[in-house]
């Protein structure tokens, strides 16, 4: 059948309509496919977020309604993620602070359950690892603390509790409970170890007792002899003797006060260090000469040697002088008649070393570690005339000021050996 113009037109029209329909159908199915892909992509992101992976980049959500909703949700999740992150960082910081604290910290919630226990509290109260969330009355075995927490939870007040909670009774702790008001009511317990404070207090009290004792002895003598003088002012012989005793005792008191002030100054960090080249030979020679008369009276000899590399030292000469002088004075005093004192300066490794050795009786092993303590004397009867019991304590502190060390030992042949070592500047 021949094709007429009309039929051609009809076919063309139908094809056109069909094409248009096909294109429309094609466009619809393409749109449906891309939308379901986008939904799948959004779901994938949601799943990733649900698993805690908030990493970007997010897919291109598109500009339609679905895209806007997805983008909005995405931003909300990202923001929440940032907040959770910052909270986690805060928490980690807080945990780091709490676990590095020497004070024990423990928090109980309104229901009386343990919410937070730092390492120190766990150690002090010997709490089990699973103590969190347990009632404090079950977890804590110290009745005083349990009482105080109960009182605070009930809205009452408590005062600080002094206790020794560990099996180590030498340690003293102070426990304080205070209310916490956050979402509900709770209690926080803080425990401080005040053992060192107590020790310092004991040392201070001992020190005051020692000073009082040391001052009272010469004071009693001065008072007694002054009264004797007043009772019998005409006895010329006694007068001279008594006045000499009074003078000697007053000097002793003066020395004690001077030593105490020196020690206080050093301990308060008020001694300035003036470093300059110091002629060690001249310094040692001068000290040996100072003690020569005392030593000669006891038939003692004082010898010294200074190694060539130790002849000069960058240090505070006045302080080094006081250190050596104290050591030599002790050596002369505690060495019996006919003995010898030997001073030796050298350089060992990176340190300047100076030793003072004597031929006395040395120091009993039990006392070796204690002679540098204030007022510590091996001879308990404290008979050494003129001694304050502070000399070696001053030596130790001065050596520390010069960034050095001082040690004492007994020589194999008998006699004490004090050695100071100072940095070579
Ligand atoms: P003191 O004023 O009593 O000498 P120190 O602090 O200088 O006080 O010395 C403390 C104690 O150490 C002395 O009392 C003495 O018992 C002992 N000591 C110090 N040096 C010597 C030494 N060279 N030999 C034996 N004992 C010593």
pTM: 0.65
Please report the atom of ligand 1 found closest to the CA of residue 387: 2
pLDDT confidence bin for 138, thresholds 50/70/90: very high
**CA–CA distance, 401 with 169 (Å, rounded to integer):** 36
Q: Which residues pair with 408 in a beta bridge?
A: 418
Can you give the pLDDT at residue 380? 62
CA 259 to ligand 1 centroid distance, Å:
15
Q: pLDDT tens, 102-129?
A: 899 999 999 999 999 999 999 888 898 8
Strand ranges across the sheet with 416-423: 301-306, 340-348, 351-358, 416-423, 405-410
**191 — alpha (psi -120 to 50), left (phi > 0) or beta?**
beta
Can you give the pLDDT at residue 167? 63
Percent of the chain at pLDDT above 70?
89
Can you give the pLDDT at residue 166? 61
CA 202 to ligand 1 centroid distance, Å:
23
Can you give the pLDDT at residue 251? 93
Answer yes or no: is pLDDT of 9 > 70.
no
Give the count of beta carbons closer than 10 Å to the beta carbon of residue 387.
Answer: 19
Residue 335 · residue 359 · CB < 8 Å: yes
Q: pLDDT tens, 182-201?
A: 767 899 999 998 888 888 99
- Stretch among 112-126, 278-292, 381-395, 397-411 having the lowest mean pLDDT: 381-395
CB of 377 sitting under 6 A from ligand 1: yes
CB of 125 sitting under 6 A from ligand 1: no
Can you give the pLDDT at residue 384? 61
- Stretch among 7-21, 152-166, 396-410 having the lowest mean pLDDT: 7-21
Percent of the chain at pLDDT above 90?
52
Answer yes or no: is pLDDT of 16 > 60.
no
- Stretch among 139-148, 300-309, 416-425 having the lowest mean pLDDT: 139-148
Describe the chain by its helix, strand, coil percentages, rounded to 5.
55, 20, 30
Mean pLDDT of 375-383: 70
Q: pLDDT tens, 310-363?
A: 999 999 999 999 999 999 999 999 999 999 999 999 999 889 999 999 999 999
**CA–CA distance, 36 with 42 (Å, rounded to integer):** 10
CB of 334 sitting under 6 A from ligand 1: yes
**CA–CA distance, 382 with 375 (Å, rounded to integer):** 10
Residue 382 · residue 362 · CB < 8 Å: no
Can you give the pLDDT at residue 11? 36
**CA–CA distance, 61 with 165 (Å, rounded to integer):** 63
Q: Write the DSSP assignment of 374-402 as a string of letters.
A: TT--SSTT--STT--S-HHHHHHHHHHHT
**Mean pLDDT across the chain, nearest whole number?**
86
Give the count of beta carbons closer than 10 Å to the beta carbon of residue 294.
Answer: 14
CA 370 to ligand 1 centroid distance, Å:
10
- Stretch among 79-93, 148-162, 232-246 having the lowest mean pLDDT: 148-162
Burial state string for 334-360 with b = 16 or more CB within 10 A and e = fewer than 16:
bbeeebbbbbbbebeeeebbbbbbbbb
Answer yes or no: is pLDDT of 217 > 80.
yes
Answer yes or no: is pLDDT of 425 > 90.
no
Residue closest via CA to ligand 1's atom 16 equals: 378
Residue closest via CA to ligand 1's atom 8 equals: 389
Can you give the pLDDT at residue 22? 37
pLDDT confidence bin for 150, thresholds 50/70/90: very high
End-to-end CA distance of the chain: 123
Answer yes or no: is pLDDT of 1 > 60.
no
CA 375 to ligand 1 centroid distance, Å:
10
**CA–CA distance, 82 with 68 (Å, rounded to integer):** 21
**CA–CA distance, 8 with 225 (Å, rounded to integer):** 154
CB of 384 sitting under 6 A from ligand 1: yes
Answer yes or no: is pLDDT of 234 > 60.
yes
Q: Which residue has the higher pLDDT, 399 or 71?
A: 399
Closest C-alpha among 97, 73, 77, 74 to residue 85: 77
CA 287 to ligand 1 centroid distance, Å:
18
3-state secondary structure of 190: strand
CB of 416 sitting under 6 A from ligand 1: yes
Answer yes or no: is pLDDT of 385 > 80.
no
Give the count of beta carbons closer than 10 Å to the beta carbon of residue 331.
Answer: 27
Q: pLDDT tens, 45-92?
A: 888 888 888 887 677 777 888 888 888 888 888 898 899 889 999 989
Q: Which residue has the higher pLDDT, 256 or 36?
A: 256
Can you give the pLDDT at residue 24? 40
CB of 391 sitting under 6 A from ligand 1: yes
């Amino acid at each position: 059948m021949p094709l007429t113009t009309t039929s051609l037109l009809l076919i063309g029209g139908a094809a056109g309509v069909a094409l248009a329909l096909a294109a429309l159908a094609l466009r619809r199915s393409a749109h449906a496919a891309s939308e379901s892909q986008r939904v799948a992509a959004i779901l994938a992101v949601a799943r990733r977020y649900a698993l805690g992976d908030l990493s970007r980049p997010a897919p291109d959500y598109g500009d339609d309604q679905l895209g806007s909703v997805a983008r909005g949700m995405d931003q909300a999740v990202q923001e929440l993620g940032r907040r959770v992150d910052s909270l986690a960082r805060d928490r980690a910081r807080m945990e780091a602070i709490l676990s590095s604290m020497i004070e024990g910290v423990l928090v109980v919630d309104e229901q009386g359950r343990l919410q937070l226990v730092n390492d120190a509290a766990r150690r002090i109260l010997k709490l089990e690892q699973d103590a969190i969330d347990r009632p404090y009355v079950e977890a804590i075995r110290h009745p005083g603390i349990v009482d105080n927490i109960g009182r605070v939870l009930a809205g009452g007040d408590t005062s600080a509790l002094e206790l020794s909670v560990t099996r180590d009774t030498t340690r003293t702790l102070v426990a304080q409970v205070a209310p916490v008001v956050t979402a509900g009511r709770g209690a926080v317990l803080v425990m401080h170890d005040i053992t060192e404070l107590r020790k310092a207090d004991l040392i201070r009290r001992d020190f005051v007792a020692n000073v009082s004792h040391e001052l009272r002895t010469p004071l009693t003598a001065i008072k007694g002899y002054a009264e004797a003088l007043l009772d019998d002012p005409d006895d010329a012989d006694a007068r001279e003797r008594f006045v000499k005793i009074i003078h000697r005792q007053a000097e002793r008191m003066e020395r004690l006060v001077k030593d105490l002030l020196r020690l206080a100054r050093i301990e308060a960090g008020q001694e300035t260090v003036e470093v300059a080249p110091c002629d060690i030979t001249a310094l040692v020679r001068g000290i040996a000469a100072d003690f020569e008369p005392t030593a000669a009276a006891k038939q003692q000899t004082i010898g010294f040697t200074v190694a060539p590399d130790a002849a000069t030292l960058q240090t505070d000469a006045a302080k080094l002088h006081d250190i050596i002088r104290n050591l030599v004075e002790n050596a002369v005093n505690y060495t019996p008649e006919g003995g010898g004192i030997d001073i030796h300066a050298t350089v060992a490794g990176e340190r300047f070393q100076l030793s003072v050795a004597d031929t006395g009786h040395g120091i009993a092993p039990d006392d070796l570690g204690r002679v540098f303590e204030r007022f510590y004397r091996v001879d308990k009867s404290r008979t050494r005339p003129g001694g304050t019991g502070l000399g070696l304590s001053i030596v130790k502190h001065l050596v520390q000021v010069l960034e050095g060390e001082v040690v004492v030992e007994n020589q194999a042949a008998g006699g004490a050996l004090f050695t100071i070592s100072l940095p070579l500047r």
